Amino acid sequence: MSFSNLNEKQQEAVNKLDGPILILAGAGSGKTSTMTHRIAHMVESGIDPYRILAVTFTNKAANEMRERVEGLIGSTGGMWIMTFHAMCLRILHMNADRIGYNSNFVIYDTSDQKTLVKKIEKELGISDKEYKPQMLLSVISRCKEKAMGPEEYREVSPESARSKAVYMVYSEYDKRLKENNAMDFDDLLLNCMKLFEADEEVLVKYQQRFRYIMVDEYQDTNHIQYRLVSMLAEEHHNICVVGDDDQCIYQWRGADIRNILDFEKDFPEAQVIRLEQNYRSVGNILAAAHSVIRNNRSRKRKELWTTKEDGEKIRYSRLESDKEEASYIARQIGWLARDGREYSDFAILYRTNAQSRLFEEALSMQGIPYQVLSGMRYYDRKEIKDVMAYMRLVVNPADDLSLLRVINEPKRGVGAKTQDKIAAFARVRQQSMFEALSDPDGEVLETLPGKAFDKVKEMVECITLCRQERENLDVSDIFDELLVKTGYLKSLENDKTLESESRIENLMEFKSVIADYEKSTENSSIDEFMAQLALAAEVDNYDDGQASCTMMTMHSAKGLEFPVVFMPGMEDGLFPGSRAFDDPASMEEERRLCYVGMTRAEELLFLTSAELRMRYGRTDYTRESQFLKEIDSTLMTGDAVYQPRKGTSLGVPTGSRDGYAQKPYKPFDAMKYARMDTHKKSQGASVDLAQGDRVFHKKFGEGLVIESAGSIVTVAFDSVGIKKLARDVAPLEKL
C-alpha cells in the first residue's frame, strides 16, 4: 500500500505500530485519514483484524472510521470499531451474570435518570428545589466517573446536609437501577471496569484479543475510560491515542484533560507525533484562531501551519440588535449564494441552542434553505419514549420506571394513589410492579378499581404475549401489537388535534427506523434493538448532502468543516458565558470552544455581535467578547473592536497574555436579573391592596393605604408620612 498522499509526520504515525504513541493532531490536520491508514497498514502487515480495537466517542466518528477503513482495505473483518459505550455494552452483554446483572438489562437515558432521581427525592422527603435532580445527577455521574460508590462518597465528603442528601439519593439510585435491571450510561463503563477488576479471566481474554488499540478524541476521555484503556493495554502497550488538548470542550461533563497531558508520564517510552500541518483553513483564519488559543496556559506546545494562501481577513460586524444580527447574516448568505456559493457551504455556529430561533426566522424570510441541529433528541419526544417504555417492558419486566411511565398512558384511570398501592404490593411480594400485576393468581390486579381493572389487564396481557412470542415476531410486529392493543394509538387518533397528528407521524417515522434495523440485521431481536437504540443520538442525523445551510452549537460542530462559517453572539456573558468569569479553568474551556468554532472555517469567517440582545425575556446592552480582543487585529476587517484605554483607573495593564487576568469586569448576568424579574412580578401580582389595608414596607415601616388607583398606591406611613409608590415595584407586604 502506498501512503504517498500522507505527509511525513502522518507516515511516521502510520508506520509505527508497536509501543505507545501519542498523536497530537491539530484541527484539520488529517487525523482521521492518518488513523484509518494506520489500521489499514496493520492489516497489510499481516495483523489479524480480530486483534484490532478502535474506540471513538460518537457513533458518527465510529461510522466514519469504519467506512473509511472499508474504503482502504475492503472489509473491517473482525475488528471492533465502536464507541466506548458500545464496546462496554458488548462486553457486558456477554458477561452480565458475572457482575450480578441479567443480560437483558435496559439502558436508562438522561431523562429516565432524572425521573428516577425525582421519584427518589420525593420518597426520601428531599426537596427537589433545594437539590435539583440535575445537580444530584451530575454529582453522581462525577462519582461514577471516578469509580466512587455511595459509601466511598460518604467517607470522603464533609459532614454536611448536602453531602448527606447526595449520599442518600446516590445509594438509593444505585439500588433502584439494579432492582430494575437497568444501567445508566456511566454504569456501562463502570461495570465493565468492575468486571475486568473482579474477573482476571475475562480481562486477560480481552487483553490477549486486542493487541492493537487506538483511541480517538483522547482529550475527551474521563477517568474510567482512561482506566479501561490502560487495563486493556497493560500487557502489550500497543496503544495509540489521538487527540488535541486545544479541542477539549467537554470538561464540564467529566472529560479529564490530564489524560492527554500526562500520557507521556503514564507510558514513559511513548513516542509523541505532532500533526501540525493544517489542510483545512486559509492562513488568516488559522492565524486568528491561534491568536486566541495561545492565551490558554495549560496546553501542549503546538502551532498549526498551512501552505494555503492567507485568504481574506476575518470579518467582524457589531450590529444594533440580535434581530439585526440575524438579518445581516441572512443577507450575507444571500449575496454569497448569488455569487456562486452552495447553500451547503454555510454554517452558523452559536454558543447556545436558544440563539437559533432568530436565524431561522431571518433565513426563511430570505428564502434560504436551512437545517437546524437542535439539542432535542428525536428519541426524547414523548410519544417515542412512551412506546419505547412499552417495548422495554417486553424485554425487561423488572423495569418499574417504564411501567409507571405507561400505566396511565393512555388514561386508564390509574392515578398516583393507585400507582402507590401497586408499588406497595409489589414490594411486599418482592416482585417488580409488572410481575405483580401479571401474576396468574391475579391478587394485585384485582385490587384495582373496576374500570382500571379491565384496561390494565388488557395492557398486561398484551405485553406478556409480546414477551412470550418475541422470538417469533418481528420487532415491527411487536411495535404494531403494542400500539394497537394498549389503546395508545386509538387515544391519539381520538384526540384529533394538530399535535396528536404529528405524534402519530413521529410514531410512523419510528416504525421506519425499526424497519431499517430489521433490514440491516440478520437476526433482529427486540432485545438487541432496544440496546442499540439507547446508544443512538440525534447528531448522527446531520446530513451534509443537503443543499441547505446548517445551524448548530459550536459543540456539535466539532469534527466538521465548512467553507463559510458565521459565529454570532460574540459578547461577554454569552460567549464566553457569564459563568466562565468566575473560574479560569472554564474560561479556558470557553476559549477552546472559540478555537474549535473558528477552525471549522475553510475560507471565510464572519464574527458578529449585537449591541442589544434579548435574553430570558429581557433586552440588555452587551459588551464585545474578550475573545474578539484577543484576535490579532491585523487579521480582521469590518467594525473596530472596542479596546479599553490602557492604564485605566483599575490599573490593570492590557495586553496581558491571559485574557481573564486583565478582567476586573464581570459581565451582566442576564439570568440573574431575569430571575429577579419573575419573582418581583409574582410578588406584585399577589399583593392585592385596597383602601384601608395595613401594609409593611422594608424601609418605611408600617402604614395605612389611603388610595389604590391603577399602578400607584398611596400609603400613609406611621413614621415617614405619605408616600406614593409604584405597586408592581414597591416591596409592600399586606398585614
Partner DNA sequence: ACCAATCTGCTTTTT
Partner DNA sequence: GCAGATTGGT
Residue type, 292: V
* Interaction of residue 117 with DNA, rule CB under 7 A: no
Residue closer to DNA, measured from CB, 148 or 304: 148
Give min distance, CB of 469 to DNA, in A: 30
Residue 241 in the binding site for DNA (CB under 7 A): no
108 vs 206 by CB, closer to DNA: 108
Segment near DNA (CB under 7 A), from 174-182, 235-243, 572-580, 704-712?
A: 572-580
Which amino acid is present at 657?
Answer: R
Contacts of 722 (CB under 8 A, 6+ apart): 706, 714, 715, 716
Q: Taking the complex as a whole, how short is the minimal distance between the CB of residue 298 and DNA, in angstroms?
A: 18
**Which CA distances in Å does 242 have to 121, 255, 377, 620?**
41, 15, 28, 43
Q: Is 60 in the site for DNA (CB under 7 A)?
A: yes
Identity of residue 92: L
How many residues lie near DNA (CB under 7 A)? 61
With residue 291 as reference, give the H or E element that holds it. Answer: helix 283-293
377 binds DNA (CB under 7 A): yes
490 binds DNA (CB under 7 A): no
579 binds DNA (CB under 7 A): yes
Which one of residues 200, 367, 416, 692 is an interface residue with DNA (CB under 7 A)?
416
Nearer to DNA, 571 or 603 (CB): 571
**Cell numbers for 532:** 442499540
- Rg of the chain (C-alpha set): 29
Place of cell 464581570: 666
Min CB(242)–DNA separation in Å: 17
Shortest reach from residue 547's CB to DNA, in Å: 23
Cα(655)–Cα(90) distance, rounded to whole angstroms?
52
For DNA, which stretch binds (CB under 7 A), given 172-180, 482-490, 530-538, 710-718? 530-538
Q: Which of 352, 371, 506, 532 touches DNA by CB under 7 A?
A: 352
351 touches DNA by CB under 7 A: yes
The least CB distance from residue 248 to DNA, in Å, is 12
- Among 132, 236, 302, 727, which residue sits at the site for DNA (rule: CB under 7 A)? 132
Q: Which residue, 466 or 551, has its beta carbon nearer to DNA?
A: 551
Nearer to DNA, 244 or 590 (CB): 590
Does 685 interact with DNA (rule: CB under 7 A)? Answer: yes
Residue 218 CA neighbour count, 13 Å, CB half: 30
Q: What residues between 277 and 306 interact with DNA by CB under 7 A? A: none
Of 190 and 507, CB closest to DNA = 190
The residue from 191, 553, 608, 622 that contacts DNA (CB under 7 A) is 553
DSSP one-letter code for 577: B
Helix residue ranges, H only, 125-184? 133-145, 150-156, 161-179
Which sign does the torsion angle of CA 549, 555, 561, 562 carry? positive
User: Which is closer to DNA, CB of 40 or CB of 293?
Assistant: 293
Establish if 331 lies at the interface with DNA (CB under 7 A): no
Given 405, 555, 592, 613, the residue binding DNA (CB under 7 A): 555
Q: How far is the CB of 267 from DNA (least distance, A)?
A: 26
Q: State in angstroms the smallest separation of the CB of 261 from DNA.
A: 21
> Least distance from C-beta 615 to DNA, angstroms?
8
The 3-state secondary structure of 237-304, one letter per residue:
CCEEEEECHHHCCCHHHCCCCHHHHCHHHHCCCCEEEEECECCCCCHHHHHHHHHHHCCCCCCCCCCC
Among 36, 58, 104, 550, binds DNA (CB under 7 A): 58
Q: Are strands 712-717 and 239-243 parallel, antiparallel or unpaired?
A: unpaired
417, 519, 645, 699: residue in contact with DNA (rule CB under 7 A): 417
Nearer Cβ to DNA (130/197): 130
The answer to whether 261 contacts DNA (rule: CB under 7 A) is no
Query: Could you say which of 387, 414, 459, 601 contacts DNA (CB under 7 A)?
Result: 414
Coil vs helix vs strand at 457: helix
574 φ/ψ angles, rounded to the nearest 5 degrees = -110, -50
Exactly one of 157, 171, 371, 586 binds DNA (CB under 7 A); that residue is: 586
498 binds DNA (CB under 7 A): no
User: Which residue from 164, 175, 237, 253 is in contact with DNA, where contact means CB under 7 A?
Assistant: 253
Q: Which amino acid is at 234?
A: E
Number of alpha helices (DSSP H) and beta strands (DSSP E) in the chain: 28, 21
CB 709 within 8 A of CB 690: no
Dihedral angle computed from the Cα positions of residues 528, 531, 535 and 541, in that order, rounded to the nearest 10 degrees: 50
Cα–Cα dist 321/139, whole Å: 38
Residue 709 makes contact with DNA by CB under 7 A: no
- 461 vs 540 by CB, closer to DNA: 540
Smallest distance, DNA to C-beta of residue 82, A: 9
Strands 239-243, 212-215: pairing is: parallel
Query: In sequence order, what are the beta bridge partners of 83?
Result: 56
Give 373's contacts (C-beta < 8 A, 6+ positions apart): 538, 539, 541, 542, 550, 551, 552, 553, 556
Q: Based on CB atoms, which residue is closest to DNA, 279 or 379? A: 379
DSSP state of 624: B
Residue 248, classified by CB atoms within 10 Å of its CB into exposed (0-12), middle (13-18) or buried (19+), is: buried
Q: Are 268 and 242 in contact (CB under 8 A)?
A: no
Per-position DSSP letters for 377-429, written without gaps between them: -GGGSHHHHHHHHHHHHHH-TT-HHHHHHHTTSS--S--HHHHHHHHHHHHHH
Indicate which single residue of 360, 538, 561, 639 sits in contact with DNA (rule: CB under 7 A): 538
Given CA atoms 470, 472, 475, 477 in this order, what sign does their dihedral have? negative
Residues 80 to 109 in contact with DNA, rule: CB under 7 A = 83-86, 109
Pick one of 198, 204, 537, 585: the residue that binds DNA (CB under 7 A): 537
- The amino acid present at 199, given as its one-letter code, is D
Report the nearest approach of DNA to the CB of residue 677 (Å): 7
Binding DNA by CB under 7 A: which of 50, 252, 335, 642? 252
Among candidates 356, 383, 652, which has minimal Cα distance to 493? 383
- In angstroms, rounded to a whole number, what is the distance separating the alpha carbons of residues 114 and 133? 6
- Judged by CB under 7 A, does residue 668 bind DNA? no
**Using rule CB under 7 A, residue 408 touches DNA:** yes
Q: How far is the CB of 142 from DNA (least distance, A)?
A: 12
> Rounded to the nearest whole angstrom, what is the least distance from the CB of residue 689 to DNA in the complex?
16
Catalytically active residues, by annotation = 31-32, 216-217, 247, 600
What is the rounded distance in angstroms from the CA atom of residue 214 to the CA atom of residue 206?
15
Strand pairing partners for 207? Answer: none
CA distance 176 to 402: 13
Note the residues at the interface with DNA (CB under 7 A).
57-60, 83-86, 109-110, 118, 128-129, 132, 185, 250, 252-253, 351-354, 357, 375, 377, 408, 411-418, 535-540, 552-553, 555-556, 577, 579-580, 586, 590, 614, 616-617, 671, 674-675, 678-679, 681-682, 685-686
